[in-house]
Amino acid sequence: MSMNEALEAQKNEPKKIFMDAYTTWCGPCKMLDRNTFQNKDVAKYVNEHFYAVKFNAEGTETINYKGVTYENPNYNPNKRGRNSPHQFASYLRVQAYPTMIFFDENGKVITPVMGYKTPTQLEIFLKMVASDDYKEVKTNQAWAEYQKNFKSTFKN
């Protein structure tokens, strides 16, 4: 679903958003699609707990977020490879691809997760955000403790 669709859906059924900010030229983004997002455990968990959003961070989608319209006015359809970054990607401070971004039930950014993740590497972030445990993990020590006590159930 698009970001606009997810934000609209939140109005009727509040649910967190899990956004995959990718580009068409990004190798690790393609691996994430193929190896992680196609994983049955990941797909089932994301679909149960989040609105899943695919966002081309160099694309042409118009996004209306918190009263502001974001576009990509410098997009060049004839350019191969890297293109102009989308204004929404810049607003979200996306600096590497892939970047997965979690939003709360009101569309507010919770946290980004940068880089390729296997299903079991992504699992801890998915479950920490879905359960609201992220609200209690505020220090590096708390994060280390959370990781130590986390029991993975996803299969790679």
Q: How does residue 27 score in pLDDT terms, banded at 50, 70 and 90?
A: very high
Mean of pLDDT values over 21-41: 97
pLDDT tens column, 39-67: 999 999 999 999 999 999 999 999 999 99
CB 76: neighbour CB atoms within 10 A? 10
Instruction: Say if strands 50-56 and 16-22 run parallel, antiparallel, or are unpaired.
Output: parallel
CA distance 48 to 70: 28
Under CATH, which number does the domain 3-149 receive? 3.40.30.10
pLDDT of residue 80: 87
In this prediction, residue 124 has a pLDDT band, given cuts at 50, 70 and 90, of very high
Q: What value does the mean pLDDT take over residues 20-48?
A: 97
Q: How far apart (Å, rounded) are the C-alpha atoms in residues 97 and 124?
A: 20
Closest CA to 26 of 73, 85, 75, 74: 85
Q: How far apart are CA 114 and CA 148, in angstroms?
A: 21
Mean pLDDT of all residues in 127-151: 96
CB 2 within 8 Å of CB 61: yes
156 pLDDT more than 90 = no
pTM of the model: 0.94
Question: In the chain, what are the domain boundaries?
Answer: 3-149
- Mean pLDDT, range 66-95, rounded to an integer: 95
